[in-house]
Amino acid sequence: MKYIMRPLKVYLFLIIFLGFSSGCTGNQEQSAKENQDTHIVKVHTNHPVDQSVANQAKEKTIKREEVTGVKAVNTDKELLVALKVEQFDRFRLKTIKKNVKSSLEKTYPDYKVFVSTDQKIFLELEQLEQKLQKEQPKKRILNKEFDEIKSLMKEQA
């Protein structure tokens, strides 16, 4: 009886150990997916409108603790920024948005700054950034799409 209990205890211990170790792998994959959003894509274009202001605004905004993703596009006099925040920080969306906007307005006083935390605006800006990176559309087309995104922001508010 003594010899039968010993292997049984070892098998039971292995089963419990494997159960705990396999349960922890899902969280690691989820946190790895969340960290992928923290990188920013710099849009390198001088034609039709230089996007260096938008790139600098992204760098400044992503440094904030609660911001996990940021997209930005600028025209000659306007800057449009979309934020992605952590799930728990969504309770403080208004204050985060207000702080980011005031910070960017101080940094870029010549630009009219628009900040959004809406997911749809984030996706629209991402598409516009990709279009700027690949195609480099004309200034007229950029302004048209920029105005469409601004109107979407006003509808959301």
Q: What is the pLDDT of residues 90-105, one digit of tens each?
A: 788 889 999 999 999 9
Is the CB of residue 113 less than 8 Å from the CB of residue 79?
A: yes
Torsion of CA 85, 87, 93, 98, to 10 degrees: -30
Helix, coil or strand: residue 68: strand
Mean pLDDT, the chain, whole residue set: 81
Q: How confident is the model at residue 32 (pLDDT cuts 50, 70, 90)?
A: very low
Q: How confident is the model at residue 33 (pLDDT cuts 50, 70, 90)?
A: very low
Neighbouring-strand partners of residue 79:
74, 113
Supply 128's token pair: 């516009």
CA distances from 17 to 30, 73, 152 (A): 22, 50, 52
Whole-angstrom distance, CA of residue 56 vs CA of residue 63: 11
Average pLDDT over residues 45-66: 83
Whole-angstrom distance, CA of residue 100 vs CA of residue 104: 6
For residue 35, is pLDDT > 50? no
pLDDT digits (tens, 9 = 90+) for 11-30: 777 788 777 777 655 554 44
pLDDT for the residue numbered 125: 92
| pTM value > 0.75 | no
Q: How confident is the model at residue 84 (pLDDT cuts 50, 70, 90)?
A: very high
Average pLDDT over residues 65-69: 90
Whole-angstrom distance, CA of residue 72 vs CA of residue 88: 23
